[in-house]
Amino acid sequence: MKYYAIIVAGGSGNRMQTETPKQFLLLNNLPVLMHTVKAFALSDSQPKILIVLNQEQHNYWARLCEEFNFRIPHQVIAGGTERFHSVKNAIDSIEEESFVAIHDAVRPLISKTLIDSCFNKAVELGNVIAAVQSSDSVRMLRADKTSALKRNEIYLVQTPQTFSLPVLKEAYRQEFNNSFTDDASVVESIGYEINIIEGERNNIKITYPIDLELAELLLKK
């Protein structure tokens, strides 16, 4: 079986509020994105790695690779306006029959075990996404009123999100709409059921400044 990993790193990191986009910030003296790519390169599945970067950052990334002597083979793909368009650009570049894991560059603590489990489960079931259950109680806000939800029915979705290539190609032929917050929502909208695999509590998405501090602590443990 052929495997691909699409690492999406084409965002601008508005919520992080740093001049340097968060995927390039240093985490334990190595850019966040390099931690993420390393995890995939260390996995048994040995996927071909596609890194999606805003066109304006391609030279910057090349310089970082030199500076950090980063030699993991990968292909760089141009990013798009939304995460959806960045993923689509990468999917369009894949031609051989394969399973494709899509992963946020800003989830650098992913383990190689979870990466391999996602590929294996996707081959068995057709698709799989990593998710964890909420440890907090959960409420829904509707028409100015909140109501409790059954938290054992709620999953917090992570990446990797792994699919067979034909399904991804079919799903990403659609126009973008705002309800597409991840790859599973895109694939589900054309009628596929999505399977869940237990994610990892450490697999945090670096979104706000506190997340980078947390990631530093988690790496040291």
Ligand X SMILES: C[C@](O)(CO)[C@H](O)COP(=O)(O)O
Q: Are 61 and 79 in contact (CB under 8 A)?
A: no
Q: Based on the number of CB atoms within 10 Å of its own CB, is 65 exposed (0-12), middle (13-18) or buried (19 or more)?
A: middle
Per-residue contact string for residues 21-50; x = within reach of ligand CTP by CB under 6 A: --x---------------------------
Burial label, 209 (beta-carbon count in 10 A; 0-12, 13-18, 19+): middle
* Residue 154 interacts with ligand X (CB under 6 A): yes or no: no
- Pick 47 or 79: Cβ nearer ligand CTP: 79
Q: Which of 48, 207, 211, 218 binds ligand CTP (CB under 6 A)?
A: 207
Q: Shortest gap between Cβ of 107 and ligand X (angstroms)? A: 7
Contact 182, 161 (CB under 8 A): yes
Q: Which stretch binds ligand CTP (CB under 6 A): 12-20, 38-46, 67-75, 127-135?
A: 12-20
Nearer to ligand CTP, 164 or 207 (CB): 207
| SS3 per-residue string spanning 135-168 | CCCEEEEECCEEEEECHHHCEEEEEEEEEEHHHH
Query: Residue 181 interacts with ligand X (CB under 6 A)?
Result: yes
**Which residues are at the interface with ligand X (CB under 6 A)?**
83, 104, 157-159, 181-182, 205, 207
